[in-house]
Amino acid sequence: MKQLIQFMQRYTLSCEKATLLMEMANAQQLAPWQKLQLAFHKGMCNMCTDYHKDSIRIDDELSSLARSKKPSQSPRHEWTDKDKEALIQQINDNACDHGPIKNHPTDI
Amino acid sequence: MSTAPSDHAIDKVLNQWVRDYSEDLFHVALSQTRQADLSRDLVQACFLSAYKGYDGFRQESTAKTWLISILNRGILDHYRELSRKPSSQHMPQAAVDKALSSLTDMGAWDMNAEVNQRKTLSLDHGHLEECMSQLPDLWHFAITERLLKERKSSEICQELGITASNYWQIIHRAKMALRNCLKQQGIQ
């Protein structure tokens, strides 16, 4: 019994660790013993099996999203002629002495 | 015998490049960073680097390609800097808690968590983009590079200067957060 507990402690994974290994498995980054651990865990845990299916579907959909995305679907922010002229002015003012270009505060 | 262009001539070329390419560069930066002001800074820095490095432009590629490569280096520097900051900044506790809300403290599925009661996962592209937009910056970048640009994890780790274990932890948290979000969207 003690040996069984030791075996379980050594080779069984928590669901958190198992789901982490699933992400690595999706990218074929698992060592053979990790594959075994994961297969053993999935054999016992339906919730993790569901997670793995969902995870693969999300990966597939994100890849499909990237393929279907058109350049025209640009974000709502615009780069205006005013931005261009301000940048030209900054280059003319600052680039000659190679000084730093004044930064805008970043978005939060 | 050819001579190096004068500063005035370089200014003139750069000014024209700003008119021709800065808008496209801005949208490249914006699509990766999702932040308008940061994208403006990156475009500005890109043109300053182009000015300083103009002598290195061999015209083997187009000016736009050269500028995009400078911009991409700037974007990568931004994320590399972010990944070097304390983990509280690239692993914000609120986002981690939200991502792992479907698990107990012991790392098992929480049968009481509302999200675990929901079977439906909405994979509508609008919902996917909405859920992606809620991810912290570095998580969003890691997922985008791996799944949308299909880049190898080893390359991303090397470019960001992070360990593989750190990288997979980021991907894991991001995917957990995405799945929870898509399950929430599934019933709306």
Q: What is the DSSP letter of B85?
A: S
Percentage of chain A lying above the pLDDT 70 cut: 70
**Contact criterion met (CB < 8 Å) for B125 and A14:** no
Rounded Cα–Cα distance for residues B6 and B14 (Å): 12
Residue A84 lies in a domain: no
Residue A9's pLDDT is what? 62
What is the CA angle B139-B146-B64, rounded to 5? 100
In the three-class reduction of DSSP (H, G, I as helix; E, B as strand; rest coil), residue B4 is classed as coil
Cα R_g (chain A), whole angstroms: 26
What confidence tier does A96 reach under pLDDT thresholds 50, 70, 90?
A: low
> Is the residue at A24 inside a domain?
yes
pLDDT in tens, A34-43: 999 999 999 9
How far apart are the CA of A93 and the nearest CA of chain B, in angstroms? 10
Q: Residue A97 — pLDDT band, cuts 50, 70, 90? A: low
How many folded domains does chain A comprise? Answer: 1
The stretch A1-19 carries a mean pLDDT of: 78
Secondary structure (3-state) at B120: coil
Q: pLDDT digit of tens for each residue in chain B (188 aa)?
A: 445 566 777 788 888 999 999 999 999 999 888 888 899 999 999 998 998 888 888 777 899 999 999 999 999 999 998 888 877 777 888 889 888 989 998 899 998 888 888 777 888 888 898 999 899 989 999 998 888 788 889 999 998 889 999 999 999 999 999 999 998 886 55
Query: Domain limits at A11?
Result: 2-67
Q: What residues of chain B lie within 8 A of the CB of A15, using their CB? A: 103, 107-109
Q: Is B172 in contact with A92 (Cβ distance < 8 A)?
A: no
Q: What is the pLDDT of residue A108?
A: 31
Set of chain A residues whose Cβ sits within 8 Å of the Cβ of B178: 58
- How much is the pLDDT for B181? 92
Instruction: Identify all chain A residues contacting B18, using CB atoms and an 8 Å cutoff.
Output: 84, 87-88, 91
Flag whether pLDDT at A8 surpasses 70. no
Assigned domain for A33 exists = yes
Whether the Cβ atoms of residue B50 and residue B66 lie closer than 8 Å to each other: yes
pLDDT of res. A48: 95
Percent of chain A residues topping a pLDDT of 90: 40
Tell me which chain B residues have a C-beta less than 8 angstroms from the C-beta of A65. Answer: 125, 128-129, 148
Domains of chain B, earliest start first:
7-84 (1.10.1740.10), 87-186 (1.10.10.10)
Compute the distance between CA of residue B156 and CA of residue B154 in angstroms, rounded to an integer: 6
Listed by number, the residues of chain B in 97-156 with a beta carbon closer than 8 Å to a beta carbon of chain A are 100, 103, 106-109, 116, 121, 123, 125, 128-129, 132, 143, 146-150, 153
Judge whether A108 lies within some domain.
Answer: no
Confirm whether A54 is domain-assigned: yes
B44 touches chain A (CB under 8 A): yes
The phi and psi torsions of B104 (rounded to 5 degrees) equal -80, 175
Buried-state track A14-24, b at ≥16 Cβ within 10 A, e below 16: bbbbbbbbbbb
Is A83 contained in some domain? no
Domain assignment present for residue A77? The answer is no
What is the ipTM for the molecules in this complex?
A: 0.79
Query: How close is the nearest chain A Cα to the Cα of B11, in Å?
Result: 7
